[in-house]
């Protein structure tokens, strides 16, 4: 073989390798459930916590299932396994959370988002663990952003007063002061958390300060900082400080956590907390956003 042909062949092989690498890169949409669970842990195609799996919910959608009742710390490996599988190497992820899924994702980013992760092959075995792709590692995960439906990163007063099963470990984590002290909410590794706050509360949710969606108050679903929850409302409520849109401070001067931005505030009080097994409530609002923006 002539020197020219060897050079040409070498160039061809390099271009094919590059093309294969580009072709293998993919975007994934991960859905992290909240309290109650409903899906099968390790089965990324089981959307039992959300609704029909046939429903559009973002590019290459995957369900990141955890039991929804154990403590955040004890179940966190399930989330890390999913992020390792789909959000390393050439692959990138869009992440959606619901309720305590926000607490779970925030805990993950703060405590493990700066750790060394082996690049994985996006082909999970039974149990949800993927194999290594090329034997190299990276720092943290490739995450475009997180969209939180009724995020419980700030806890819920329903846990404070024992309205939920108090023997459930997750309920202990969801107490407002506990949730806010569980990790550094300002540490997101530069990943934006876009907050969706529902406001279709009921009479019994009077336990929750300000506007709420029956389970989570605006101070939590709006990413408001502080060691305990406060009362925040829609702009038309004269007797309560406004939860402001965007990442700026709220009326009254309380800031949001770093890299937290309110992109949906339920001014019409139309959306409650619950997906009802059919992508409903505030979950439906986020699902639409994921379909339209996760490309």
Residues 148, 99: contact at Cβ < 8 Å?
no
Summarised one tens digit per residue, pLDDT across range 173-187 is: 999 999 999 999 999
Phi, psi (deg, nearest 5) at residue 247 = -105, 0
Q: Give the model confidence (pLDDT) of 8-50 as tens digits.
A: 444 433 443 433 444 479 999 999 999 999 999 999 999 999 9
Residue (of 30, 73, 77, 26) closest to 50 by Cα position: 30
pLDDT at 237: 83
Helix %, strand %, coil % of the chain (to 5): 30, 20, 50
Range 39-43 contact pairs with CB under 8 angstroms and sequence separation of 24 or more: 39/63, 39/65, 40/65, 41/65, 41/66, 41/67, 41/78, 41/128, 42/78, 42/81, 42/124, 42/126, 42/127, 42/128, 42/129, 43/128
Q: What are the distances in angstroms from CA 59 to CA 31, 123, 189?
A: 11, 17, 23
Mean pLDDT, the chain, rounded, equals 92
| pLDDT tens-digit map of 88-134 | 999 999 999 999 999 999 999 999 999 999 999 999 999 999 999 99
């Amino acid at each position: 073989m002539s020197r020219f042909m060897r050079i040409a062949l070498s160039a061809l092989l390099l271009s094919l390798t590059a093309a294969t690498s580009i072709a293998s890169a993919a975007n994934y949409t991960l859905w992290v459930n909240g309290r109650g669970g409903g899906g099968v842990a390790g089965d990324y195609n089981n959307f039992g916590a959300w609704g029909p799996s046939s429903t559009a919910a973002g590019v290459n959608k995957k369900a990141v299932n955890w039991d929804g009742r154990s403590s955040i710390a004890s179940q966190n490996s399930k989330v890390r396994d999913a992020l390792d599988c789909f959000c390393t190497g050439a692959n990138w992820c869009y992440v959606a959370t619901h309720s305590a899924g926000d607490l779970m994702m925030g805990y993950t980013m703060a405590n493990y988002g700066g750790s060394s992760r082996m690049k994985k092959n996006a082909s999970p075995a039974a149990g949800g663990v993927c194999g290594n792709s090329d034997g190299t590692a990276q720092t943290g995960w490739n995450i475009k952003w997180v969209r939180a439906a009724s995020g419980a990163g700030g806890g819920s007063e329903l846990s404070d007063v024992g309205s939920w099963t108090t023997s459930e470990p997750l309920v202990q984590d969801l107490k407002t002061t506990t949730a806010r002290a569980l990790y550094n909410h300002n540490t997101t590794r530069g990943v934006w958390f876009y907050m969706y706050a529902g406001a279709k509360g009921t009479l019994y949710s009077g336990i929750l300060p300000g506007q709420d969606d029956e389970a989570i108050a605006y101070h939590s679903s709006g990413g408001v900082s502080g060691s305990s929850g406060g009362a925040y409302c829609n702009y038309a409520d004269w007797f309560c400080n406004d939860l402001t849109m965007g990442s700026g401070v709220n009326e009254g001067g309380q800031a949001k956590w770093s890299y937290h931005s309110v992109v949906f505030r339920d001014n019409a009080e139309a959306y409650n907390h619950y997906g009802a097994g059919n992508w409903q409530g505030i979950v439906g609002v986020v699902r639409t956003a994921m379909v339209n923006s996760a490309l």
